[in-house]
Amino acid sequence: MAEKTKRILVTGALGQIGSELVHRLREMYGGDGVVASDMRDRAPAAMTDSGPFEHLDVLDAEGLAALCRQYEIGQVYHLAAILSGVGELKPDLAYNVNMTGLKNVLDVAKEMKMSRVMVPSSIAVFGPSTPRDNTPQETLLRPISMYGVTKVGGELLCDYYWQKYGLDVRGVRYPGLISHTTLPGGGTTDYAVAIYYDAILKGSFECFVSEDTVLPMMYMPDALRALIELAQAPSQNLRYRNAYNLTALSFSAGELASCIQERIPDFKIIYKPDYHQEIADSWPRSIDDSAAAADWNWAPEYDLGKMTDDMLAELRKRLKDEVVSG
Ligand code: NAD
Ligand code: SER
């Protein structure tokens, strides 16, 4: 086990990934060993009761450095970011948080000689000129969204800090993530989470991408395991420091709806594509993640049916008081 004495800092810990990753890391390293942080203050009791939670805006470089010194941070999982949908509405904010926030984290990690920084990238690094099927690890990165631009810039920055300063930075290009604990923060793949909530709560769903839109996706248990397995992989095995292609499954919005209809026969869906459609159409339909499989034995566990069974079961438990009967 790495880092017995120094603590792990998680930025953006109240988001879709962080709200689950913090608990997984605390199971592994102890509650005190993992400092959760976010610029939002309202952390759930489960997070504040199980270990430290601190207010932190990653744009505040001095506050970030002070927090890292106070807690003797040795590793960072840097999750604070603005995602693709919100990023198109607020491009300046996306640029600042995703680029300057990342640079602040890399700088403090370099200065404190931290042992590792984990930085998720995204399939948003790809664009219309990238092959959309079985998208290779090394290919054209010409995104059309501000989010994608910052993710490409972020990958290059991570590469630079590894090559120039030897900082052990590692990353994955996550596909769309599906989970039932915390709603996603404003991305293009969010429809694939919202559809499960509405199927249970309303029996119907209005989808912001078209029926035939195919995107790569992953269930959260696979996503958490991927990041932790990559963090634990021997450094010398890793050929890529910007980020590894990663995927679990690819489906269209229509195929996801059919899978839910097999389990909730009355479920209805209508398609009303909006500004998210252009982003979705510029992203891959499927991903070649053979480099991750070769370098750190990546393999997903959840397919569409298994994920849907689990999502519906977990959400029914959580939302049981809100479900309209009849
Ligand atoms: P999210 O939007 O759910 O959470 C991001 C968190 O960052 C939020 O809690 C927000 O309050 C916080 N935040 C925003 N600005 C901040 C700032 N200035 N300082 C501190 N905190 C700030 O995002 P997520 O889905 O948990 O994503 C985490 C990382 O994974 C991001 O880098 C994202 O690009 C990447 N990623 C996510 C997905 C996905 O489908 N969820 C897919 C690909 C990549
Ligand atoms: N799920 C993310 C988004 O849609 C992909 O990075 O923004």
N-to-C CA span, the chain: 51
138 and 186 inside one domain: no
195 and 277 inside one domain: yes
- pTM reported for the whole predicted model: 0.96
- Tell me the mean pLDDT in the region 60-89: 97
Instruction: Please state, in angstroms and rounded to a whole number, the distance separating the CA atoms of residues 263 and 258.
Output: 9
Amino acid at 325: S
pLDDT score recorded for residue 281: 97
pLDDT score recorded for residue 2: 45
pLDDT of 188 higher than 70: yes
pLDDT score recorded for residue 5: 65
Q: 């693709």: which residue's tokens? A: 84
How remote is the C-alpha of 175 from its chain's centroid? 8
Q: Is residue 273 part of a domain?
A: yes
pLDDT of 21 higher than 80: yes
**Which of 90, 144, 189, 277 to mutate for ligand 2's pocket (most ligand atoms within 8 Å of CB)?**
189
140 and 205 inside one domain: no
What's the mean pLDDT when you consider all of the chain? 96
Instruction: Please state, in angstroms and rounded to a whole number, the distance separating the CA atoms of residues 155 and 152.
Output: 5
State the Cα angle at 188 between 243 and 310, rounded to 5°: 85
**What pLDDT digit, counting tens, does each position of 102-142 carry?**
999 999 999 999 999 999 999 999 999 999 999 999 999 99
**What pLDDT digit, counting tens, does each position of 306-316 carry?**
999 999 999 99
pLDDT score recorded for residue 325: 46
CATH of the domain at 164: 3.40.50.720
Catalytic (active site) residue 147: yes
**Which of 9, 17, 215 to mutate for ligand 1's pocket (most ligand atoms within 8 Å of CB)?**
17
**What pLDDT digit, counting tens, does each position of 77-95 carry?**
999 999 999 999 999 999 9
159 and 208 inside one domain: no
241 and 162 inside one domain: yes
Count helices and strands in the chain by DSSP H and E runs: 13, 14
Instruction: Please state, in angstroms and rounded to a whole number, the distance separating the CA atoms of residues 110 and 161.
Output: 8
Q: Is residue 192 part of a domain?
A: yes
- Tell me the mean pLDDT in the region 10-36: 98
239 and 144 inside one domain: yes
| 106 alpha carbon – ligand 1 mean position (Å) | 17
**What pLDDT digit, counting tens, does each position of 282-296 carry?**
999 999 999 999 999
- Tell me the mean pLDDT in the region 261-281: 97
Instruction: Please state, in angstroms and rounded to a whole number, the distance separating the CA atoms of residues 183 and 169.
Output: 27
How remote is the C-alpha of 46 from its chain's centroid? 21
Cβ-contact 214, 251 below 8 angstroms: yes
188 and 139 inside one domain: no
pLDDT of 3 higher than 50: no
167 and 314 inside one domain: no
pLDDT score recorded for residue 320: 82
| 145 alpha carbon – ligand 2 mean position (Å) | 11
Half-sphere exposure (CA, 13 Å, Cβ side) for 313? 6
Whole-Å CA distances, 289 to 15, 24, 79, 87: 25, 24, 21, 26
**What pLDDT digit, counting tens, does each position of 222-244 carry?**
999 999 999 999 999 999 998 99
Q: 29, 71, 77, 147: which one is catalytic?
A: 147
Counting ligands in written order, the one closest to the CA of 188 is 2
Closest by CA position to 26, among listed 37, 36, 39, 17? 36
Say what percent of the chain tops pLDDT 90. 95
Cβ-contact 260, 313 below 8 angstroms: no
Domain region containing 97: 7-176+220-245
Cβ atoms within 10 Å of 70's Cβ, excluding its own = 12
pLDDT bin (cut points 50, 70, 90) of residue 323 is low
pLDDT bin (cut points 50, 70, 90) of residue 322 is confident
pLDDT of 247 higher than 60: yes
Q: Please state the domain count of the chain.
A: 2
3-state SS, 21-52, equals HHHHHHHHHCHHHEEEEECCCCCCHHHHHCCC
pLDDT score recorded for residue 321: 72
Q: Which two tokens stand for residue 120?
A: 């998720």
21 and 153 inside one domain: yes
Q: Is residue 326 part of a domain?
A: no
| 217 alpha carbon – ligand 2 mean position (Å) | 10
